[in-house]
Chain A
Amino acid sequence: MTGAEVMERPIEGDISLREAEEFIWREADILDRADYEAWLALWAPEGRYVIPLKPEATDFENTLNIVYDDAQMRRMRVERLSGGFAISATPAARTIRLASRFVTMEAGPGLIAVRSAMHLTEDKFDRQRVFVANVEHRLVRRDGALMIRDKVVRMINADGVLTSISYLF
Chain B
Amino acid sequence: MSAVSSEPNRDYAALSRGDRVRTTIYSDPDLFETEMEKIFGRTWVWVAHTSEVPEKGSFKRSWVGTQPVIVSRDRKGELHVLVNRCRHRAATVCEHDSGRTSSFQCPYHGWGYALDGSLRGVPYSEGYGEGFDKSQFGLRRLKVATYAGMIFASFNEAVEPLEDFLGHARVWIDLFMKQGGGFPVKAAGEHRFSFPGNWKIQLENTTDAYHFPVVHKPFLQSLDAQTEEMFSFLGEDDGFVQDLGNGHSVMVMMPELIDLDADEGWQIPARFSALADQLRERYDEEQVRRIVKAVGGVGFNLNLFPNAACSLSFFRILRPVSATETHIRHIALGMEGGPPEANQMRLRLHEHFQGPMGFGSPDDAEVWERVQRGTAGGPDLDILVNRGEGLEKQGLHGLPRGDVSAETGMRAAYAMWERMMAQ
B190 lies within 8 A of chain A by Cβ: yes
B95 lies within 8 A of chain A by Cβ: no
Q: In the bound complex, how far is the Cα of B163 from the Cα of A140, in angstroms?
A: 59
B78 lies within 8 A of chain A by Cβ: no
Contacts of A51 in B (CB 8 A): 357
Q: In the bound complex, how far is the Cα of B351 from the Cα of A151, in angstroms?
A: 17
Q: In the bound complex, how far is the Cα of B332 from the Cα of A53, in angstroms?
A: 12
One of A64, A73, A88, A160 near B365 (C-beta < 8 A):
A88
Question: Contact at B365–A63, with CB atoms within 8 Å?
Answer: no
B340 lies within 8 A of chain A by Cβ: yes
A11 lies within 8 A of chain B by Cβ: no
B109 lies within 8 A of chain A by Cβ: no
User: CB within 8 Å of B: which of A152-167?
Assistant: 159-166
Question: Contact at B218–A86, with CB atoms within 8 Å?
Answer: yes
Please name the residue on chain B nearest to A53 by beta carbon: B189
Question: Contact at A61–B344, with CB atoms within 8 Å?
Answer: yes
Q: Interface on chain B toward A: helix, strand, loop, or mixed SS? A: helix
Q: In the bound complex, how far is the Cα of B327 from the Cα of A121, in angstroms?
A: 22
Q: Interface on chain A toward B: helix, strand, loop, or mixed SS? A: loop
Contact mask for chain A residues 64-85; partner B; CB cutoff 8 A; 1 contact, 0 none? 1111100001001101100101
Question: Contact at B362–A65, with CB atoms within 8 Å?
Answer: no
One of A68, A87, A125, A161 near B351 (C-beta < 8 A):
A68
A62 lies within 8 A of chain B by Cβ: yes
B202 to chain A, nearest CB (A): 13
Please name the residue on chain A nearest to B352 by beta carbon: A73
Contact mask for chain B residues 342-373; partner A; CB cutoff 8 A; 1 contact, 0 none? 01100110111001110101111111011001
Contact mask for chain B residues 205-219; partner A; CB cutoff 8 A; 1 contact, 0 none? 000000000010111
A63 and B351 in contact (CB under 8 A), knowing A85-B217, A86-B218, A164-B361? Answer: no
Stretch at the interface among B10-18, B192-200, B395-403: B192-200
Q: In the bound complex, how far is the Cα of B332 from the Cα of A161, in angstroms?
A: 16
Contacts of B343 in A (CB 8 A): 62
